[in-house]
Structure 1
Amino acid sequence: MQKRTFLLAASCALATAFTPAVYADSYPSKPITLVIPFPPGGPTDAMARTLAAEIRDRIGQTMVVENRAGAGGNIGAEYVARAEPDGYTLMFGTSGPLAINASLYRKINYDPTRSFAPVIRVGHLPNILVVHPSLPVKSVPELIAYSKAHPGTLSYASSGNGASSHLAGVMFNALAGTDFQHIPYKGTGPALNDLLGGQVGMSFTDILTAMPYVKTGKLRALGVTTAARSHAMPEVPTVAEQGLAGYDVSVFFGIVAPAGTPADRIAVLNKAFAAVLASPKVKELFASQGLEAATDIRPQALAQFIASETAKWSTVVKQSGAQLD
């Protein structure tokens, strides 16, 4: 009887000793914070919130969305870069904080290629070259010819210095030999208003913003800025296929964690996000918003893409002469 009692006590002691370790390794065991480095209300915010809401059933925990806006995404990115690398703080990042800002800003307190552990590439949102209907051009070659016949007369609106809608024009000028003048606005809305009003002739805006106005004839689409045509507007040819080989501009979206986050936790997150992105509900919703889904969703694929985009935009930013504090 004493032997049996001893064995029972020993078993309970072992269970007590090992149970905390087992639960400590169970991930996730508490809510995860998904940081959006931009204000609420834009397409980045909407996509991130959709993913956060849908992922709960895959990880068994709530994903809390937190907007930390400012400095073109740098404030939120720096916050995540400095967070504990335990898998409980993530960022839904875009081209700005994950590639462009490294060369656009004089100083940022993180490195997009070293400060983060990539989780998954979500996809990209193409930009589209649109013009006011009063501009007598219907294709990219016609636009280039018109520009060279009327030097210094064409200007394009962007949502701000360093935005993809700005740098798309810089890259176009470099490849086409045009001299489009850049007019930065404080956001997509003001830029779009002046374009619709004819105060500015064209813009390289995102396809989600432009689509309704193209369909109603208020704007004319000349070309999609990505290497492949957009699924949302397949009838619009790319800029590249109209003579500017290598022209490829878009806003990409990816989820990252702080560098040093354990690989097994990155794997859990990657699998969960991949399942959400593959669900018919989310696929249909994102496609309706113009998102081109990523074909390679491995963490290392996002790492490679961030590195290549950072290098590409460094060259474009230098050509633009843009520099922000």
Structure 2
Amino acid sequence: MNKLLSRVTLAAAGLLAATQAAMIPIPAMAAYPEQPVKLIVPFPPGGPTDALARRLAQSLSEPLGQPVVVENKAGAGGNIGSDYVAKSKPDGYNILFGTSGPLAINIGMYKNLGYDPRSSFEPIIRIGHLPNILVINPQVPARTLQELIAYAKANPDKLSYASSGNGASSHLAGVLFNQMAGTSILHVPYRGTGPALNDLLGGQVSMSFTDILTALPHVQAGTLIPIGLASAERSAALPDLATLDEQGLKGYDVSVFFGIVAPKGTPGPVVDKLNQAFVQALHAPEIRETLAKQGIVEARDQTPQGLASFIAAEVPKWGALTKAANISLD
């Protein structure tokens, strides 16, 4: 009997000890972030993507309570920096400032990309998009879309369009234009927007699909003629300029979008905190003024799910185009 009582007493003591241990407060998880956050830009310094990233980084430090440092990891059309983030530790300290190329287009052109924009990242927020615009050299005898198409068809291979490089959105914009308009305008790739613009202004090439921020000063000066916006909606920067869709190329939309992603497996609370910080920054009057000056249209849906859905729709859209045009960069 005494042995039985001893066993019961020991068991009760063990249960009491376990209960007391369970009641001891567990130290709270470390608050995120405890150190500076790196915003990886997969393009060289000085371009519009880099400039926007640096402007936003300044406004993120306050809501996050830590500095946000921009780091450029350029190369392979944005793939090097994107792959770096995809393979980073999923702790929220390396996030990607992505664009249409690395987050939607490149997967259809590179056989060994190393990551998949749909499954290698945790979406954080879609910032918005920068509309492209179709501009022509004043020497081209056309002032409307229909006149341009008619001239191109009557003079096969006489017109040419400049792009910032093979596989860039400015290249694919011309591919889509030729497909939809039934033209055969020659593609001339350059190493960057600057050289392409210089030759367009000089008349070495006929036209280009470039971003509205780059084209606007030349449109205002009359050195380039705007034909139409290559996006689904008009731009506040040129409110009277109709889209190509409005002028007859139904469904034509080639805009550069900006999205923020983190490595796959980044905890939900970290993603939510980053999303909230970006939303707060984007709603600041000075940031909205910056976006407006750069011609960037803010995304309506700024949730992580909104970016995930957008990327899921963009990948097959561009994949079908690059496959039909047999564009491969491997």
Query: What is the TM-score with the length of structure 1 in the denominator?
Result: 0.93
Matched, 1:50 2:55: yes
**Over residues 163-206 of structure 1, what are the superposed CA-to-partner deviations in whole Å (9 max), with x where a residue is unaligned?**
01000000011111011110000110110010000010000011
Partner SS for 1:75 = helix
Matched, 1:169 2:174: yes
2:83 to 78, 86, 90: 78
Partner SS for 1:242 = coil
Shift of 1:318: 1.4
Distance in 2, Cα, partners of 1:205 & 1:64: 29
**Over residues 8-62 of structure 1, what are the superposed CA-to-partner deviations in whole Å (9 max), with x where a residue is unaligned?**
xxxxxx9xx857x32x331111111110001100000001111111111111011
The structure-2 alpha-carbon separation of the partners of 1:156 and 1:63, relative to structure 1 and needing over 3 Å to count, comes to same
Matched, 1:284 2:289: yes
1:155 to 156, 160, 169: 160
Counterpart of 2:95? 90
Counterpart of 1:248? 253
Gaps of 5+ in 2: 1-20
Runs of 4+, deviation exceeding 4 Å: none
Counterpart of 1:41? 46
1:134 to 139, 144, 150: 139
Partner SS for 1:305 = helix
Contact preservation (8 Å) 1:105, 1:323? yes
Which amino acid counterpart does residue 309 of structure 1 have in structure 2? E
Partner SS for 2:241 = coil
Counterpart of 1:144? 149
1:196 to 195, 198, 201: 201
Matched, 1:324 2:329: yes
Shift of 1:107: 1.4
Contact preservation (8 Å) 1:129, 1:223? yes
Contact preservation (8 Å) 1:159, 1:186? yes
Identity %: 58
Matched, 1:26 2:31: yes
Distance in 1, Cα, partners of 2:236 & 2:96: 27
How much is the aligned-residue C-alpha RMSD, in angstroms? 1.2
Counterpart of 1:66? 71
**Over residues 99-154 of structure 1, what are the superposed CA-to-partner deviations in whole Å (9 max), with x where a residue is unaligned?**
00001112100000000000000000011000000111111111111111111211
Counterpart of 1:10? none
Partner SS for 2:328 = coil
2:116 to 104, 111, 119: 111
1:179 to 168, 175, 184: 184
Alignment of 1:204-219 (within 5 A): 204-219=209-224
Distance in 1, Cα, partners of 2:75 & 2:295: 25
Shift of 1:320: 2.3
Counterpart of 2:126? 121
Distance in 1, Cα, partners of 2:43 & 2:126: 18
